[in-house]
Structure formats: structure tokens, C-alpha cells
Structure 1
């Protein structure tokens, strides 16, 4: 059910509540389209996020807390995500030689390669999602969203 359908039912919904519902519906629709794009690669949105964070490390290791801080979804179980990516061969985890309590996580060549494959596909998906907006509207939307 979208906001317009709720409005058509003549139910009086306060503007702030209608706005929150609308934002939630849009977020779910975006997640659905991105998930569909990633599905053939057997990668979740959260796993993609971890890989992107590790690619941004430019070869330097990251620890779980660093990854967790940078995650888009703070509700993710980072340890579980890393474990799944290890099984896929996209990241590796080692114990730091200088500090055995410190665990270092790095993206592998396979992880970098899957990101290269996904970059173009995600770019097109994002363009499609935002296809009804021109550049000026996107700038305005980002200004409004920054108010959060």
C-alpha cells in the first residue's frame, strides 16, 4: 500500500506521519530493487556494504568496530557478515602479529573483482531508481535529506 492509497481512503493522517510512512515505503522499494540487482551474485546489501568499506581501506586492514561504524545499517551483525564473505572468498581475517587480540579484515582480489562487476550494474540500478528526478531536483532532495 502506498501513501496515495492511504490518502484515497479518506483517513485523516497527520502530515508528519504521512511523511514518515512515505519515506519508509520509498526506503523499502529502494532496498527491494538493489537486493534484486545483487541477488544473481548471491550478495546481500549488507555484504556489499562491508565489501565497499573494505575496498575504501585501499589495502589496509579494518577491524570489526571500524566496519560496524561505517555500515549503512547499524543493525547488521558484522561478525556474521564477515564470516559469510570469508566463506565466499571475498575477504580474509587474520590475527595481528603485534597484538594477538586484534583481528584484521582485508578484501581479497576476488572481493575486488566482484565489486568491479557490481559497480556498473548498481550504477544503472541507481539511475533507474532516480530516473524521475533531474539533477537540480536531486541536489534539492539531498539538501532536504541532510536536514535529518
Structure 2
């Protein structure tokens, strides 16, 4: 059942509730498609997000706190996500030489290479998810969604 069919099953409910349900259904569809796109890489959406954050550091290390602050989905299991990426050799964790209590996390060359491959698939998935919208409609949608941020 697609999103539109699921919305029709909601019936006569207040517009606010219908809107929230619609957001949730769309979010689930997006998450399912993104997870499917990343499946061949054996990486979750959250792990992909960690890799992008680390790439954005441009060679500078990040700590767990920095990564967690920048995550799209805030969570307390950032350590577990990093541990899984270490096992895949996509990131490395080092102790800061000047402060032994500080842990620094860096993306590896292998992590960067895999992330580039993931980027292409994720970009294609994003395009496919939004192909029915014009650029103007996407701009309008972003303006409306920005109201949640303010």
C-alpha cells in the first residue's frame, strides 16, 4: 500500500492529526528507501550519517559529543555506531596525545572511498523519491518545513 492509499484509510480525522500521520508515513517511506539503498554496503542510515559528519571534519578528528550533536537523529548509542564502523575499517579511534581522556575519531581512506560510493546511490534514491516534485514545489515545501525549525 503506497502513502496515498494509507492516507485514505485514515478517514475523517482532524487536519492536525491527519497532517502528523502523513508526515510519519512519508518519513517511514523515506527511511525504508534510504535503508534499502545502503543495504549493499551493510551500513545503517545512522552509520552513513556518522561517516558524513566525519568527512565534513576535513581531516580533523571529532569526539563522540561532536558527532552526536550533528546527528540527524539524536541518540545515545553513538559509541556503538562508531564501534561498528571501526570493525568495517571505515573509521579509527585514537586517544588524544595531549588529553588521555579525550577520544578522537577519524574517517579512514577506506571509509571515504565507500562513502563516495554510498553518496552516488543515496543521491539517486533522493532523486527518485522526489521526482514527482518540481524545483518550485521543493522550494515551497522546504519553506513550510522550515517552520518546524523556528
**Count of paired positions:** 144
1:5 match: 9
In the other structure, the counterpart of 2:107 is 107
The gaps in structure 1 that reach 5 residues or longer are none
Conservation of the 8 A alpha-carbon contact between 1:92 and 1:105: yes
Give the C-alpha shift of residue 6 in structure 1: 1.6
Q: Structure 2 CA distance, aligned partners of 1:77 and 1:132?
A: 36
Over residues 48-103 of structure 1, what are the superposed CA-to-partner deviations in whole Å (9 max), with x where a residue is unaligned?
A: 00000000000000000000000001135100000000000000000000000100
Following superposition of structure 1 onto structure 2, how do residues 30-109 of structure 1 map, counting pairs within 5 Å? 30-75=30-75, 77-109=77-109
Range moving further from structure 2, 114-123 or 26-35: 114-123
Structure 1 residue matching 2:105: 3-state secondary structure: strand
Contact 1:54 1:107 (C-alpha < 8 Å) held by counterparts: yes
Question: Aligned partners of 1:130 and 1:60: how far apart in 2?
Answer: 34
8 Å Cα contact 2:68-2:75 kept in structure 1: no
Unaligned runs of 5+ in 2: none
Runs of 4+ residues deviating >4 angstroms: none
